[in-house]
Amino acid sequence: MEYQFKPAWWMTNRHVQTILPRAYRLRQRTPVDLEEIATPDGDFIELAWATPATPEAPLVIVLHGLEGNIDSFYARGMMQAVRNHGFDSVLMHFRNCSTHPNRMPRAYHSGETEDIGFLVKTLQARFPNRALYAVGFSLGGNVLAKYLGEQGSDCVLKGASVVSAPFDLSTSCQVIRRSCFKLYQKYLLDKLKKSTARKLPQIQSQLQLNESALMAIDDLWLFDEAVTAPLHGFEGAEDYYEKASGQPYLQHIAIPTLVIHAEDDPMLSTEAVPKAEQVSASVMLAVSKQGGHVGFLSGKNPFKPIFWLEQAVPHFFSQLQQGRRHDHPVSAA
């Protein structure tokens, strides 16, 4: 494997790899300009453009994770990293993760690819001579993988990278429900309930759910059963997980795609770890023993950690932009 991750000696624990990287980026800010673009259904998508812009540079679309946004540490870091490699970047806020609530009842979920498809078409029309790339983290990675598989050989992106994606949603949900003394579940649920509550008047009749009932939900599966599934036309949580999981789409990806995953990811199941027989020839797997969930910190100095993802992904895109798929390993010592 060319893209080889080795964790820092002082960060081999999977929970530390998952949680601590945020602490290193508490003060980082990436200058952005916000833009709203109207969607065909009468709603909007909020974009965060890295500034200053370089109009002729290739452009990287960044997709955040569950309840993430432009302030997510991995998003800020990646946008700066790709800029250092000569790329512009734009982050797409999933609906209801933006500055203010969306108008339509629907929000977003792990398998919703209409908005990324609309954005790609919009950017292609706006910048017909710019190469487009995309990187997705966690939920955003699953969305991206599903989109790439759906598009197949019609995909106009020049390359993509998928990081820590829950390719098997049902089993990964079960892991989150019990992992780390249910810390991850509480963290995600608190954010999900807060974002749902701010547009509850729009969706209350559709869900038959009042605020007290919403706030009483203490289980991720129950949230998807009561909110995510009915709000987006699924029969229930398991129907949603089956239809939204990105795993079946990996074999249909036709553009160069780097899939990064850690076997010790505390938020994903072993079934979510992609295997060689599950992906197309266009997919490069970078599956490491360690790395946590969107962690992948390396380096010898605890005061100056290396964010390996910010080396690997821009390097992959740079090689594609130069017309080369592989050249040498990107490893972290």
Reduce the DSSP state of residue 88 to 3 states and report it: strand
Residue 293 appears among annotated catalytic residues: yes
| DSSP 8-state secondary structure symbol assigned to residue 233 | T
Residue 154 appears among annotated catalytic residues: no
Helix residue ranges per DSSP H, 112-219:
114-126, 139-151, 169-178, 183-197, 200-207, 211-216
Reduce the DSSP state of residue 269 to 3 states and report it: coil
Catalytic residue among 64, 109, 293, 315: 293
- Containing 24, the helix (H) or strand (E) segment is helix 21-24
Sign of the CA dihedral with 3 first, then 9, 11, and 14 last: positive
Catalytic residue among 164, 168, 265, 315: 265
CA dihedral 34, 159, 73, 217 (to 10 degrees): 90
Catalytic residue among 72, 98, 110, 138: 138
Compute the chain's Rg from CA coordinates: 19
Residue 298 appears among annotated catalytic residues: no
Residue positions annotated with a catalytic role: 138, 265, 293
